[in-house]
């Protein structure tokens, strides 16, 4: 079945006049840009695309009602009329005007030939287009807008509307400029059009690589970041759902496309930001903790709340299941008298043990069970790593070496080594049984060099560390620190992933050892082929993504957010 494409390029604007010369504000390259996009889809698309060009000629007109009708036909609301995929490209004037309702902000428009600001006719509303896409039965939707103020398309008005986009079909939306910015161009073509044409050119991609929504997004990011001329215009790119293939490809190349994650459901989990998530070893229960001082247990399949565990008197910062799944550990911020490490019976929800019980207990940043299940380890605000005997509930060992809070700890799969990350920016590898520090990463390993580097705030701090399934690779990330991969034996830095635009909050390797998941304050969850260094997918929350966890079979990812929700993603 052919996919439908509508390429629109409007040069003529009858009622738009220059304020200084009163000459018509016509364009010269918009129709040419649309023609080039249409030709590229037809010639490289392997007979996949049925392309319509509007208007027919560069001097022809295209009115508002005609463009709305064409878009409605491209994105029908009747499933019997909907193609599997549809693409809209627009080049022309873009406008931004105050909404008719007082105090409602601004609205964006695709300028049509009959646009007349004096008559309050600006063209096709981007709010109308956004709603049309949500209502349409087309499963794979692509919209590219090379015009001024096109970012208004991506101004989601409410959290519910954004959730509709996250849980809907597969979409690739690209706007040439932000809602309050103009779009750039040359005498030959628009800047976005130029990058799109190159992104769609098979000759500019590695042999055998399929052109998809992912490769296009990556191509745009790489081109604009490396070209100083193009840095003045940064398109907005939003990807929802699974990867969209632009060319059909052969059976051999199709096998290269990875299965991608899709939002299964969202839980309005807590009354404050979610701080930590964990999934039970049998894959049936999600545990979540929050700054609302609670721990909650959820049925992973249905999303049903099973138990709410109350007992902490401050924000709960970390949760972890024991290897046998019978016990849940939780750790909290500063507590007076009550102790801030608690062990819960998962089946009953009862508090079975309290540790770190002093008149005042400082913040415990993280907890993790050893692979044997006999020891619980905590990273603490006093820069120590403490080991707790689960039989007696008493502290059995303390490791010192970090300069500030220990924010994250992780055991190697064989249980022989422990990796810790701290607010001092250091990553330390330990032989925990004999208390020996084997290596320090990201900081000088000697005392005086480390002491001096602690005073250098530009290094930032580590928020999360993880160890790969084969025990060979460490992943780390944090504030002013991108995602970094290290060889655990040599300490060599292997790769750096700097795509998060804010602090990195969590890192986790998939159980099959194939991918790495990372989350950040840029509201995104990113999935990586960490061996090849490829970004496979970016998923979004409404607010900062604070934590993540894989299910034991690797088919489910759970993320927690500052927006108080849990998102459950399925592969």
DSSP labels, 127-193 = HHHHHHHHH---SEEEEEEESTTGGGGG---SHHHHHHHHHSSEEEEEESS-TTSPPPB-SS-BHHH
Q: Indicate the number of domains in the chain.
A: 2
Residue 94: in which H helix or E strand, if any? strand 94-98
- Is the bond leading into 55 cis (omega within 30 degrees of zero)? yes
- C-alpha 38/C-alpha 60 separation (Å) is 17
Residue 372: is it exposed, middle or buried by C-beta count within 10 angstroms (0-12/13-18/19+)?
exposed
Give the pLDDT confidence of 121-161 residue by residue, as tens digits.
Answer: 889 999 999 999 999 999 999 999 999 888 888 875 455 66
Evaluate if residue 30 carries a pLDDT over 90: yes
The reply to whether 24 and 163 lie within a common domain is yes
**Is the CB of residue 426 less than 8 Å from the CB of residue 406?**
no
SS3 545: strand
What's the pLDDT band for 442 if we cut at 50, 70, 90? confident
pLDDT-above-70 percentage for the chain = 83
Out of 187-191, 210-214, 391-395, least confident range: 187-191
What's the pLDDT band for 444 if we cut at 50, 70, 90? low
Evaluate if residue 336 carries a pLDDT over 80: no
Domain limit, last residue, from 206, 225, 254: 254
The reply to whether 321 and 239 lie within a common domain is no
**Is the CB of residue 182 less than 8 Å from the CB of residue 152?**
no
- C-alpha 539/C-alpha 516 separation (Å) is 14
Tokens 């690779």: give the residue: 473
Give the pLDDT confidence of 252-261 residue by residue, as tens digits.
Answer: 444 344 456 8
Choose among 17, 24, 27: nearest CA to 189.
27
What's the pLDDT band for 387 if we cut at 50, 70, 90? very high
Residue 466: in which H helix or E strand, if any? strand 461-467
Out of 27-31, 34-38, 444-448, 503-507, least confident range: 444-448
**Is the CB of residue 341 less than 8 Å from the CB of residue 378?**
yes
Q: Any idea what the CATH number is for the domain that residue 391 is in?
A: 2.130.10.10
Evaluate if residue 453 carries a pLDDT over 80: no
What are 154's two structure tokens? Answer: 């991506």
Give the pLDDT confidence of 531-566 residue by residue, as tens digits.
Answer: 888 888 888 888 899 999 999 999 999 999 999 999
The reply to whether 340 and 399 lie within a common domain is yes
Domain limit, last residue, from 254, 277, 308: 254
SS3 473: strand
The reply to whether 250 and 321 lie within a common domain is no
Domain limit, last residue, from 238, 254, 270: 254
The more confident residue out of 258 and 499 is 499
What's the pLDDT band for 116 if we cut at 50, 70, 90? confident
The more confident residue out of 117 and 27 is 27
The reply to whether 181 and 72 lie within a common domain is yes
Contacts of 3 (CB under 8 A, 6+ apart): 48, 49, 50, 83, 84, 85, 86, 87, 140
Q: What is the mean pLDDT of residues 83-91?
A: 95
The reply to whether 414 and 472 lie within a common domain is yes
Mean pLDDT across the chain, nearest whole number? 85
Q: What is the mean pLDDT of residues 497-508?
A: 93
Q: Secondary structure of 408-436 in the HEC alphabet?
A: EEEECCCCCCEEEEECCCCEEEEECCCCE
The reply to whether 250 and 274 lie within a common domain is no
**Is the CB of residue 200 less than 8 Å from the CB of residue 44?**
yes
Q: What is the mean pLDDT of residues 469-473?
A: 95
What are 26's two structure tokens? Answer: 């016509």
The reply to whether 241 and 292 lie within a common domain is no
The reply to whether 309 and 238 lie within a common domain is no
Residue 274: predicted pLDDT: 97
The reply to whether 123 and 207 lie within a common domain is yes
Q: Any idea what the CATH number is for the domain that residue 95 is in?
A: 3.40.50.1460
Range of the domain at 95: 3-254
Residue 506: predicted pLDDT: 98
DSSP assignments along 369-408, one per residue: E-TTSSEEEEEETTSEEEEEETTT--EEEEEE--SS-EEE
DSSP label at 202?
G
What's the pLDDT band for 350 if we cut at 50, 70, 90? very high
The reply to whether 58 and 139 lie within a common domain is yes
Give the pLDDT confidence of 240-282 residue by residue, as tens digits.
Answer: 877 788 865 444 444 344 456 888 888 999 999 999 999 999 9
Tokens 């193609």: give the residue: 83
The reply to whether 312 and 375 lie within a common domain is yes
Residue 256: predicted pLDDT: 42
Q: Where are the beta strands (DSSP E) in 322-371?
A: 327-332, 335-336, 341-345, 351-355, 360-361, 364-369
């Amino acid at each position: 079945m052919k996919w439908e494409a509508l390429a629109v390029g409007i040069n003529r604007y009858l009622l738009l006049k220059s304020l200084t010369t009163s000459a018509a504000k016509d364009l010269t390259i918009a129709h040419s840009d649309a023609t080039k996009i249409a030709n590229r889809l037809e010639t490289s698309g392997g007979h996949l695309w049925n392309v319509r060009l509007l208007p027919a000629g560069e001097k022809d007109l295209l009115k508002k009602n005609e463009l709305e009708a064409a878009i409605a036909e491209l994105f029908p609301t009747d499933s019997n009329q909907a193609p599997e995929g549809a693409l809209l490209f627009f080049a022309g004037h873009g406008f931004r005007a105050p909404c008719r309702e007082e105090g409602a902000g601004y609205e964006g428009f695709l300028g049509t030939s009959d646009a007349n600001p004096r008559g309050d006719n600006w063209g096709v509303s981007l709010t109308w287009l956004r709603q049309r896409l949500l209502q349409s039965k087309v499963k794979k939707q692509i919209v590219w807008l090379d015009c001024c103020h096109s970012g208004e398309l991506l101004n989601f008005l409410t959290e519910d509307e954004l959730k509709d986009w996250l849980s809907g079909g597969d979409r690739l939306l690209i706007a040439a400029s932000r809602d309050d910015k103009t779009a750039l161009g040359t005498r030959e073509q628009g800047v976005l059009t130029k990058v799109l044409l190159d992104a769609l050119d098979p000759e500019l991609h590695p042999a055998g690589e399929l052109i998809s929504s992912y490769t296009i997004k990556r191509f745009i990011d790489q081109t604009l970041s490396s070209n100083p001329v193009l840095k003045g215009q940064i398109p907005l790119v939003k990807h929802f759902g699974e990867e969209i293939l632009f060319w059909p490809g052969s059976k051999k190349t199709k096998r290269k496309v990875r299965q991608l994650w899709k939002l299964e459901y969202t839980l309005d989990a807590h009354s404050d930001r979610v701080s930590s998530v964990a999934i039970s070893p049998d894959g049936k229960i999600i545990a979540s903790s929050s700054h609302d001082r609670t721990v909650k247990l959820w049925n992973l399949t249905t999303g049903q709340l099973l138990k709410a565990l109350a007992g902490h008197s401050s924000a709960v910062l970390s949760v972890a299941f024991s290897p046998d799944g019978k016990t849940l550990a939780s750790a909290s911020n500063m507590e007076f008298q009550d102790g801030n490490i608690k062990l819960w019976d998962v089946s009953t929800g009862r508090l079975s043990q309290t540790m770190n019980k002093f008149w005042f207990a400082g913040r415990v940043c993280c907890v993790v069970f050893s692979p044997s299940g006999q020891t619980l380890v905590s990273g603490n605000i006093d820069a120590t790593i403490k080991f707790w005997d689960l039989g007696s509930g008493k502290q059995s060992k303390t490791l010192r070496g970090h300069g500030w809070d220990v924010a994250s700890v992780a055991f190697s799969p064989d249980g022989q080594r422990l990796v810790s990350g701290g607010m001092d920016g250091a990553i330390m590898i330990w032989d925990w049984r004999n208390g020996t520090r084997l290596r320090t990463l990201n900081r000088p390993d000697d005392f005086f060099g480390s002491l001096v580097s602690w005073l250098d705030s530009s290094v930032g701090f580590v928020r999360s560390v993880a160890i790969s399934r084969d025990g060979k690779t460490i992943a780390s990330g944090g504030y002013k620190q991108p995602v970094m991969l290290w060889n655990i034996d040599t300490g060599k830095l292997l790769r750096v992933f700097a795509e998060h635009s804010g602090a990195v909050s969590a890192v986790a390797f998939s159980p099959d050892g194939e991918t790495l998941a990372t989350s950040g304050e840029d509201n995104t969850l990113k999935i990586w082929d960490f061996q090849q260094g490829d970004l496979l997918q970016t998923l979004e929350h409404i607010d900062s993504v604070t934590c993540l966890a894989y299910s034991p079979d690797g088919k489910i990812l759970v993320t927690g957010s500052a927006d108080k929700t849990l998102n459950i993603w399925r592969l």
